[in-house]
Amino acid sequence: MTKIRAAITAVNGYVPDYILTNKELEKLVDTTEDWILTRTGIEERRILKGEGKATSDMCVEAINKLLEKRGISAMEIDMLIVGTVTPDMVFPSTANIICDKIGAKNAWGYDVSAACSGFIYSLVTASKFIETGTHKKILVVGADKMSSIIDYQDRSTCIIFGDGAGVVLLEPSTDENGIVDSILRSDGSGRNYLHQKAGGSLKPASHQTVDAREHAVYQEGKTVYKFAVKNMADVSAEIMERNNLTSDDVAWLVAHQANKRIIDATASRMGLGPEKVMLNIQRYGNTTAGTIPLCLWDYEKQLKKGDNLIISAFGGGFTWGAIYLKWAYNS
Ligand code: UT7
């Protein structure tokens, strides 16, 4: 029997119109344009403005255009998985809300909470439903409205994050293209260095938690940076070795966009020059689960059928991992 692989057959993204520049951040916190650019590579990020606008709204924009591009209807979707740490509500899941908004009446789905690894965790999970042959069309979304959990008085976090959503369609492939291999890891002891203190069952919302600004991202940047550099580089090198890939075999590195210095370190460990590294951190900042599908969207026209892609991410949890996939289409 021919082995079924899960292939990405369409990609799309959405970023809000409002551009938050480094110059504007200079007015909010004690920072400089130059510090932000040299330490992170970020020039600007997008912010979702407007009463009643949530993560699902960005996803709906991205998905509706994807369906149009691929020429299929929402009724054909079997399943939808959303990687996010900024769900519209604690429950129900953002996946449920999106399915309702796009009219995907035959789909089921759920959210995956893995912070910046949310998209790769979701993609690997979805691929298993395709490989078993039970599902034919799955939307995998990575999206975060980070501005909803950022403290714009905290200069160590507010300069990094932005809002955005990306989506891919996964379908079965019987040629050799699609997801070939993946390595996913987690280490919950890392939770101390990157988390949101209040709003969960450990510390429900109260006047005190609001006053203490505990509903925002807390990050010990230097520690997270050290773990991110080591683990993202290690896992990317490991997946290459285990699949006998040399740097010449790899067409693209699609890395989580948290800090340009982390991406550079990963590329260097893999022996890749900058021409093989997808980069859009300068325009969107760190959109958490959104970065990887937004990269695929931005670079879609440059991707060729059969290209070997290494996707890798590191994030809160800690969570991290890498995926080796063969790109399945020419656009
Ligand atoms: O996406 C999921 C995982 N997250 C990450 O991968 C993020 C990992 N961490 C990072 O990217 C970096 O650690 C940051 C960009 C967050 C910070 O860069 P850094 O080079 O690690 O800076 P630092 O935290 O070591 O701080 C260096 C100095 C400090 O001043 P002193 O103590 O040396 O006087 C900070 O107070 O820079 C100061 N600083 C700033 N200065 C100007 C921190 N934030 C700012 C700022 N503007 N925004």
> pLDDT averaged over the chain?
97
200 and 289 both lie in a single domain: yes
What integer is the mean pLDDT of 269-274? Answer: 97
Question: How big is the chain by its Cα radius of gyration, in Å?
Answer: 19
Question: Which of the following is catalytic: 96, 231, 280, 286?
Answer: 286
Are residues 191 and 317 in contact, defined by beta-carbon separation less than 8 angstroms? yes
- Cβ of residue 259 lying under 6 Å from some atom of ligand 1: yes
Q: Tell me, what's the pLDDT at 2?
A: 76
149 and 186 both lie in a single domain: no
112 and 189 both lie in a single domain: no
β-strand partners of 179: 325
139 and 29 both lie in a single domain: yes
* Cα–Cα distances in angstroms (integers) from residue 323 to residues 93, 167, 240, in the given order: 25, 16, 10
Q: Judge whether 252 lies within some domain.
A: yes
77 and 127 both lie in a single domain: yes
Q: Judge whether 138 lies within some domain.
A: yes
- The model's pLDDT over 111-146, given as tens digits with 9 standing for 90+, comes to 999 999 999 999 999 999 999 999 999 999 999 999
| Placement of tokens 């991202």 in the chain | 217
Report the nearest atom of ligand 1 relative to the CA of 40.
15
- The model's pLDDT over 206-246, given as tens digits with 9 standing for 90+, comes to 999 999 999 999 999 999 999 999 999 999 999 999 999 99
Question: Atom 21 (ligand 1): residue with closest C-alpha?
Answer: 222
> Could you say which of 124, 142, 176 is where a domain stops?
176
Are residues 294 and 284 in contact, defined by beta-carbon separation less than 8 angstroms? yes
> Could you say which of 176, 205, 226 is where a domain stops?
176
* Cα–Cα distances in angstroms (integers) from residue 272 to residues 265, 268, 320, in the given order: 10, 6, 20
- Cβ of residue 228 lying under 6 Å from some atom of ligand 1: yes
Q: Judge whether 115 lies within some domain.
A: yes
- The model's pLDDT over 51-99, given as tens digits with 9 standing for 90+, comes to 999 999 999 999 999 999 999 999 999 999 999 999 999 999 999 999 9
126 and 224 both lie in a single domain: no
> Could you say which of 142, 160, 176 is where a domain stops?
176
Range of the domain at 210: 180-326
Tokens of 205: 């919302």
What integer is the mean pLDDT of 24-36? Answer: 98
CA–centroid distance, residue 119 to ligand 1 (Å): 25
Q: Judge whether 204 lies within some domain.
A: yes
Q: Is 116 a catalytic residue?
A: yes
Q: Judge whether 152 lies within some domain.
A: yes
170 and 35 both lie in a single domain: yes
- Residue-by-residue DSSP string for 30-66: S--HHHHHHHH---EEEE--STT--HHHHHHHHHHHH
Q: Please name the amino acid found at residue 46.
A: R
216 and 152 both lie in a single domain: no
- Cβ of residue 155 lying under 6 Å from some atom of ligand 1: yes
Q: Judge whether 317 lies within some domain.
A: yes
Q: Tell me, what's the pLDDT at 1?
A: 62
CA–centroid distance, residue 11 to ligand 1 (Å): 33
Residues 6 or more apart whose Cβ sits within 8 Å of residue 194: 115, 217, 218, 219, 220, 224, 315, 316, 317, 318
Residues 6 or more apart whose Cβ sits within 8 Å of residue 40: 159, 160, 259, 260, 261, 281, 285
Q: Judge whether 118 lies within some domain.
A: yes
What integer is the mean pLDDT of 144-151? Answer: 98
How far does Cα 44 stand from its chain's mean position?
A: 18
- Cβ of residue 159 lying under 6 Å from some atom of ligand 1: yes
144 and 242 both lie in a single domain: no
154 and 207 both lie in a single domain: no
Question: Atom 48 (ligand 1): residue with closest C-alpha?
Answer: 155
Q: Judge whether 331 lies within some domain.
A: no
- Closest by Cα among 73, 31, 10 to 159: 31
Question: Atom 29 (ligand 1): residue with closest C-alpha?
Answer: 156
pTM above 0.85, yes or no: yes
Q: State whether residue 119 is helix, strand or coil.
A: helix
227 and 254 both lie in a single domain: yes
112 and 184 both lie in a single domain: no
- Residue-by-residue DSSP string for 63-114: HHHHHHHHT--GGG--EEEEE-SS-SSSSS-HHHHHHHHHT-TT-EEEEE--
In CATH, what number is assigned to the domain containing residue 19?
Answer: 3.40.47.10
CA–centroid distance, residue 267 to ligand 1 (Å): 21
How many domains does the structure of the chain reveal? 2
